């Protein structure tokens, strides 16, 4: 890679300084106060950005029969959730996500404990709901040997800080997202008895075209392929919020065909994952990350 220019390095340093300054300013305030403030700020700014069109279009695709007032209400609520989520990221280390904690309610904790006792790894998948990092916290703070994927930030100084914050709340084993090297590391983790956790609800251009709310959407097949290849369970997780309190649910494994035709089995698994994500969106539409372009670009141009 080409060495970054002097100007770029200066900008990175200034961004890191600003990040440190924000974290310092947050220290005197409680988790709930910071969460609420984040929701308030993004609730004001979000509708003024280009992301408003993306979020509104996504809501109309998913809920084509919803009237304008309903779409407007959901749009406003999702800005609040998005703001709370980003406001919470720098202070997640304050949360206790262990089984039985007051900060996070875990539904299906017995399933997680049974998985730990069995020593059999699993592929955990989840979507960008509420504050999705809380699900990783539950897995790591439970004592489960698990590796998670992450996308390094463009600014290496901020990326270093974010990684340190994740380590502070228990997420220590992180593998770069996508690419042959990452896939190989994930398979090695499964072979070594470690579970892996991946997000599986966003657009992946090199993935499979599978319906999502009735519209074809490119979806990553990697988690399903890994589960079938290693013959381990594919377990979905979900998270919801009530302001700054979270509920994480450990769901039953998605049924996979481990011995049939590989391509058909993977597509069936990916379709089941999309159906799972659809159900979670319908349950709490205001808590999904709508500012991501989940569907093909043409749908956003014509809506």
The predicted structure's pLDDT at residue 217: 97
- Phi, psi (rounded to 5 degrees) for 105: -90, 130
From CA 181, how far away is CA 187, in angstroms rounded?
A: 10
Q: How confident is the model at residue 270 (pLDDT cuts 50, 70, 90)?
A: very high
From CA 207, how far away is CA 235, in angstroms rounded?
A: 20
From CA 74, how far away is CA 55, in angstroms rounded?
A: 10
From CA 226, how far away is CA 149, in angstroms rounded?
A: 13
Q: Where are the domains of the chain?
A: 6-302
The predicted structure's pLDDT at residue 223: 96
- How many other CB atoms sit within 10 Å of the CB of residue 106? 21
- How many other CB atoms sit within 10 Å of the CB of residue 279? 12
From CA 294, how far away is CA 126, in angstroms rounded?
A: 15
Beta pairing partners, 216: 211
User: What pTM did the predictor assign?
Assistant: 0.91
Tens digit of each residue's pLDDT (9 = 90 or more) over 249-266: 999 999 999 999 999 999
The predicted structure's pLDDT at residue 94: 92
Q: Residue 104 has which token pair?
A: 């996070």
Within 13 Å, how many C-alpha atoms sit on residue 35's CB side? 18
The predicted structure's pLDDT at residue 163: 83
Q: How confident is the model at residue 166 (pLDDT cuts 50, 70, 90)?
A: confident
Q: Which of 145-159, 223-237, 279-293 has the lowest mean pLDDT?
A: 145-159
Start-to-end Cα distance in the chain: 39
The predicted structure's pLDDT at residue 176: 62
From CA 230, how far away is CA 192, in angstroms rounded?
A: 11
The predicted structure's pLDDT at residue 60: 97
Mean pLDDT for the chain?
92
The dihedral region occupied by 210, where left means phi > 0, alpha psi between -120 and 50, and beta the remainder, is beta
Tens digit of each residue's pLDDT (9 = 90 or more) over 3-56: 889 899 899 999 999 989 988 989 999 999 999 999 999 999 999 999 999 999
């Amino acid at each position: 890679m080409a060495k970054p220019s002097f100007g770029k390095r200066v900008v990175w340093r200034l961004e890191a300084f600003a990040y440190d300054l924000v974290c310092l300013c947050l220290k005197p305030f409680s988790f709930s106060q910071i969460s609420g403030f984040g929701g308030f700020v993004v609730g004001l700014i979000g509708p003024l950005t280009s992301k408003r069109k993306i979020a509104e279009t996504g809501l109309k695709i998913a809920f084509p029969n919803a009237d304008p007032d309903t779409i407007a209400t959901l749009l406003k609520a999702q800005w609040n959730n998005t703001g709370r989520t980003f406001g919470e990221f720098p202070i997640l280390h304050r949360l206790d996500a262990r089984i039985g904690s007051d900060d996070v309610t875990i539904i299906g904790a017995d399933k997680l404990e049974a998985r730990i006792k069995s020593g059999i790894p699993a592929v955990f998948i989840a979507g960008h709901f509420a504050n999705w990092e809380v699900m990783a916290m539950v897995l790591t703070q439970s004592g489960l040997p698990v590796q998670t994927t992450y996308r390094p930030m463009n600014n290496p100084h901020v990326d270093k800080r974010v990684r340190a914050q994740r380590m502070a709340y228990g997420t220590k084993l992180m593998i770069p997202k996508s690419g042959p090297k990452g896939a190989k590391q994930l398979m090695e983790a499964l072979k070594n008895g470690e579970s892996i956790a991946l997000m599986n609800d966003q657009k992946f251009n090199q993935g499979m075209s599978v319906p999502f709310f009735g519209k074809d959407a490119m979806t990553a097949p990697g988690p399903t392929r890994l589960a079938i290849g290693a013959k381990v369970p594919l377990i979905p997780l979900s998270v919801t919020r009530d302001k700054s309190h979270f509920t994480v649910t450990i769901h039953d494994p998605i049924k996979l065909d481990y011995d049939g035709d590989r391509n058909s089995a993977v597509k069936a698994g990916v379709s089941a994952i999309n159906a799972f994500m659809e159900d979670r969106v319908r349950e709490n539409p205001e808590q999904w990350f709508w500012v991501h372009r989940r569907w093909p670009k043409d749908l956003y141009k014509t809506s």
